[in-house]
Amino acid sequence: MINAFKKKNMKNKCENCGECCLQTEMILSKNDIDKIIKNSTKKLQKEDFVFKNEDGFFQLKNISKHCIFYDINSKQCKIYEYRPQGCSFYPLIFDFEEQDCIFDNDCPRPNLFYQDRPKLKKTCEDLSRFLQQELGLNLI
């Protein structure tokens, strides 16, 4: 009985939360933008959901203090199947001061993610590679 409960909760760890979608500062790669445009059923243009931030990076727009693709009523992502790479890594983020991956403090349940240490290490490597190759950031 406990295992069934735990499995159900692990499967649904992101449902009915949406904290990561509130006032998001999600950076997008060119590949993220292209994937969203290609897969959207609406005829989206880049300007519909992206702006260039003060650091020169493409960033997801917010409307009413949440991600433009977040459905506030269902608390679900409208583009989950083709969401940006950064959203897929979340709640794992890269701490540039520490030069390592950490869990974002905004996530109320980070302990439910990446419980397998080898998977955590691999995902951190993937995140670092994404930052370097897709966003052109230099990591020390």
Tell me: the pLDDT tens digits for 69-100?
999 998 889 999 999 999 999 999 999 999 99
**What predicted TM-score, i.e. pTM, was given to this entire model?**
0.84
Which H/E stretch holds residue 103?
Answer: strand 100-103
Tell me: the pLDDT tens digits for 102-121?
999 989 888 888 889 999 99
129's tokens: 């590679």
The answer to whether 101 touches 52, Cβ cutoff 8 Å, is no
Is the bond leading into 108 cis (omega within 30 degrees of zero)? Answer: no
